[in-house]
Structure 1
């Protein structure tokens, strides 16, 4: 069996956050050819299914960098979370570094999720962070914490290195960047590559060939379990070096191009 694992932002979606008709057509052709197609994203489920055309594709969705997995019907198949103790310890370290913090939970994002920052000035974003009571989150009834994101201004991207260095002391978390100005933090069990293998186990199948597509640091683990991995032309150079192959940009239907012209899967 073959599997194609697709990152969403910067990969399947163009810069207007749309799935092109060409990409949609190729995905449908893959399904008709009995190729398993998975959406494998750092977004939370609610932010994924808001994207125009996603529901119609009827695909399994791996969310929050492998923290949660959903059946095409929307049924939750798997979840892994960050313990409250680890959350509070990581939160303390991030607050010492004076970075913005997004917290993803089963009760929503605090102060919002990453798409909620789009179109805002840094002053507006900073106000969101300043007004959030992060200690309150730990006291919400039945709360589950899936992911944190440390965020800095695009003019201060070097500070993300400090964040990653500080996080190395924790052995039960994973962290990577979906954009150069952030660091996404999940349970160590939540990685895109591990999630593909978990999907295999849930389906009781073995993928003979896995092809993955991405543009960010959180895609590296899916590259590592893939037969061939494709970095988008718009990906940073360090991500391109991690992939076995390159394809066209997200604005030039790079997913469809690689599947049709390089892999010849349809």
Structure 2
């Protein structure tokens, strides 16, 4: 019997405007009312993910920053896997070698090492264009731009961060320079103890090897005595691979998923722009005992 649904956010639960549609909201609530636990499993930092859930009028547990931390629906920390400062120093050396700008994630939010005006330029000229290469339908309003620029914790440079008390859970970067990102990834994969993935060819995400969506999902499920055959996991990109490749799990690829994800999943649902989460939830509710598509 299906007892837990684990859903990615970007490209999965969220539409092109990074919102949860009323149809998906209704389906999630219906699943919860029928005793199915619905958990978000996202690369987004906790404050950002929680704000999206609250805006939709939903309450659920969250696994954030690619499995680096987990919170219950009341905001209590369940797990945390930080990257140690010595390793962060090595990561910075690799970023500096290829002139890449890191974004850093904590349980309190996103950290930027760039002053305000430089953040504006990076967001306008690098971050948003890099996202839109792979998601041309992704819409960014002026309010979205302001949120990306302003909703950060500013730390004045790499040394200041290394000497601070901030606990870094994930480091990412976006760039339109595909070759530089590939070289950076090769460099990062030489550093012991890291998990390095990309959601699209224009980004890179780094966490502790202990912080992956799959391993944290299993740790979370074990708290309730659940086994993989009682879990449905849904995603679309490489950072979902670790949860979708769990042996025995009911893995579901979005219609818009990358080839890597479609090739490992047992099932496929509709695209994120066509309420794919609601579609798969309705399939589950039709027969929880013998779930199939």
Do they fold alike, i.e. is TM over 0.5? yes
* Inter-partner Cα distance in structure 1 for 2:168 and 2:31: 35
Superposition deviation, residue 107 in structure 1: 5.2
Cα shift readout 1:219-240 (whole Å, capped 9, x = no counterpart):
0001012522122122222332
TM-score by length of 2: 0.79
Contact 2:113 2:157 in 1 (8 A): no
Q: 1:233/1:211 Cα in 2 relative to 1: closer, same or farther (>3 Å)?
A: same
- Give the corresponding residue for 1:138: 162
Superposition deviation, residue 122 in structure 1: 2.4
Q: Secondary structure at the match of 2:11?
A: helix
Superposition deviation, residue 53 in structure 1: 4.4
Cα shift readout 1:23-60 (whole Å, capped 9, x = no counterpart):
11111111122112110000111111221645732111
Q: Does 1:28 align with 2:29?
A: yes
Superposition deviation, residue 133 in structure 1: 1.4
Q: Does 1:101 align with 2:117?
A: no
Contact 2:3 2:231 in 1 (8 A): yes
Q: Secondary structure at the match of 2:16?
A: coil
Contact 1:23 1:253 in 2 (8 A): yes
- Give the corresponding residue for 2:184: 163
- Consecutive unaligned residues of structure 2, counting only runs of 5 or more, are 115-119, 131-151, 289-293
Contact 1:81 1:187 in 2 (8 A): yes
* Inter-partner Cα distance in structure 1 for 2:261 and 2:35: 29
- Give the corresponding residue for 1:121: 125
Query: How many residues end up aligned between the 2 structures?
Result: 258
- Give the corresponding residue for 2:240: 219
Q: Secondary structure at the match of 2:231?
A: strand
* Inter-partner Cα distance in structure 1 for 2:40 and 2:113: 22
Q: Does 1:231 align with 2:282?
A: no
Q: Does 1:245 align with 2:245?
A: no
* Inter-partner Cα distance in structure 2 for 1:186 and 1:24: 30
Superposition deviation, residue 204 in structure 1: 4.2
Cα shift readout 1:162-189 (whole Å, capped 9, x = no counterpart):
2221122122111111232111100111
Q: CA RMSD in A?
A: 2.9
Contact 2:229 2:250 in 1 (8 A): no
Q: Secondary structure at the match of 1:93?
A: helix
Contact 1:48 1:54 in 2 (8 A): no
Q: Which moved more, 1:63-72 or 1:230-239?
A: 230-239
Segments of 4+ moved more than 6 angstroms: 116-119, 123-126
- Give the corresponding residue for 1:151: 174
TM-score by length of 1: 0.86
* Inter-partner Cα distance in structure 2 for 1:242 and 1:6: 16
Q: 1:184/1:232 Cα in 2 relative to 1: closer, same or farther (>3 Å)?
A: same
Contact 1:42 1:178 in 2 (8 A): no
Contact 2:3 2:230 in 1 (8 A): yes
Q: 1:228/1:82 Cα in 2 relative to 1: closer, same or farther (>3 Å)?
A: same
Contact 2:113 2:156 in 1 (8 A): no
Q: Secondary structure at the match of 2:264?
A: coil
Q: Secondary structure at the match of 1:121?
A: helix
* Inter-partner Cα distance in structure 2 for 1:10 and 1:72: 22
Superposition deviation, residue 246 in structure 1: 1.9
- Give the corresponding residue for 1:182: 203
